[in-house]
Amino acid sequence: MDFIKNVDICCGLAWGDEAKGKLITELIKYNNNYDWICRWAGGSNAGHTIYYEDKKYNTNIIPTGIFYGKKCYIGPQCYVNLNDLDKEMIYLKENGFDINLIKVSKKVHIVTSEHKEEDAKKYINSQGSTGKGIAPCGRDKYARKGLRLCDIIDNVNYFQNLKCFDINKHIMTDKLYGNLLCEGAQGFWLDIDQGNYPFVTSSTTLPYSACSLGFPPQKIRNIYGAAKIYDTRVGVDPLFSEDLLKDKDLEEIAKIGNEFGTTTGRLRKVNWLDLDKLIEAINISGTTHVIISKIDVLEIINKFKLNEGLEFNNINDMKSYINNKLNDNCYLVQKIIYSDSPKSIKFV
């Protein structure tokens, strides 16, 4: 088998932190014929929370397939800090996972220590950056002066302190084949083009960017879009004012929902779901299957609201309203699924 058959894509429909890790996990278990789990964009500024055999794991750039014995590919649009990648591989190896499954495109751009230092000085406070060096690395990439993995293969200084990452084992020399599941990083409204610029990430978060892995768009079968029943955002963004932190109901949602960033541990600002933005994200991204998580959090606080001021008596009334709006306005959507568990999704 030396050709790509079908491609499914998982993307975020909000500002990141939409439980994409849970969704990817459930897709792997539900449809176990994926040959590769692929990351197409971003770097160690993103994160997934994974529950495997009732134990919680956090990853940043290594695809979720590592937990299920799947071949994992870090694609050419990703930004890779080799030290961060090595630490993540050590963490996974120490927990018993097969890191030999991890392959990295030789075309990824390398995040240097200088990139991270510049990020920390310039962008953490002004734009809410994670300080992982992604923006300076992206700037150098598009200025055509960046360093790719293939440019430093023969430079021993880049690899001498790494314990797990072996260039001879982990660089991708073959082509992708079979059935692919592509996992997105961040979310729709953090996209460099669609988001509230400049309060965005430094990569394309929309599903069409997954074609950078090396397949035509005609191969795309399903696009799974992840959202929550309320909105959250880490970092600086005028759309999420500081006043949100003073709202007692939203504060309770953040507490019950454990709304802290996987990568940074920062408190996420919470707001009621903006349904108009969700509809726009669904339509532009081409989402076919919408997964809305954390409905249990609203049930616990017994408050059911939307950003536009609508309030409902119970979660079923709220779900019914959302379903009607999505069905009326999102013609590509085939299925809407709600999840009330941090560990699972019921696809059937």
Within 8 A by CB and 6+ apart from 177, the residues are 1, 2, 3, 4, 35, 36
1-106+169-348 fold: Adenylosuccinate Synthetase; Chain A, domain 1 (3.40.440)
Distance of CA 274 to the CA centre of its chain: 20
325: pLDDT strictly greater than 90: yes
CB 111 within 8 A of CB 77: no
Mean pLDDT of 285-292: 98
pLDDT at 33: 92
Residue 335: helix, strand or coil by DSSP? strand
131: pLDDT strictly greater than 80: no
| Lowest mean pLDDT segment, chosen from 59-63, 117-121, 241-245 | 117-121
Residue 211's pLDDT band (cuts 50, 70, 90):
very high
Residue 132's pLDDT band (cuts 50, 70, 90):
confident
> What amino acid positions are annotated as catalytic residues?
17, 48
Separation between Cα atoms, residue 22 and residue 50, nearest integer Å: 6
Query: Which tens digit of pLDDT belongs to each residue from 78-125?
Result: 999 999 999 999 999 999 999 999 999 999 999 999 999 998 888 776
Mean pLDDT of 276-281: 98
Within 8 A by CB and 6+ apart from 45, the residues are 60, 129, 130, 132, 134, 185, 186, 201, 263
Q: DSSP letters of 175-204? A: ---EEEEEE--S-GGGSTTTSSTTSS-SS-
1: pLDDT strictly greater than 50: no
Question: What are the residue ranges spanned by the domains of the chain?
Answer: 1-106+169-348
pLDDT at 332: 97
Residue 43: helix, strand or coil by DSSP? coil
CB 14 within 8 A of CB 278: yes
Within 8 A by CB and 6+ apart from 68, the residues are 25, 28, 29
252: pLDDT strictly greater than 60: yes
What is the C-alpha end-to-end distance of the chain, expressed in Å? 30
Residue 260: helix, strand or coil by DSSP? strand
| Lowest mean pLDDT segment, chosen from 40-44, 45-49, 94-98, 208-212 | 45-49
Q: What percent of the chain has a predicted confidence (pLDDT) above 70?
A: 97
Helix (H) or strand (E) holding 227: strand 220-228
Beta-carbon count within 10 A of 182 CB: 29
CB 74 within 8 A of CB 104: yes
Q: DSSP letters of 93-117? A: HHTT--GGGEEE-TTPEEPPHHHHH
pLDDT at 270: 96
45: pLDDT strictly greater than 60: yes
Mean of the per-residue pLDDT values for the chain?
93
Residue 231's pLDDT band (cuts 50, 70, 90):
very high
Residue 10's pLDDT band (cuts 50, 70, 90):
very high
Mean pLDDT of 138-161: 95
Q: DSSP letters of 29-40? A: HHSTT-SEEEE-
CB 12 within 8 A of CB 284: no
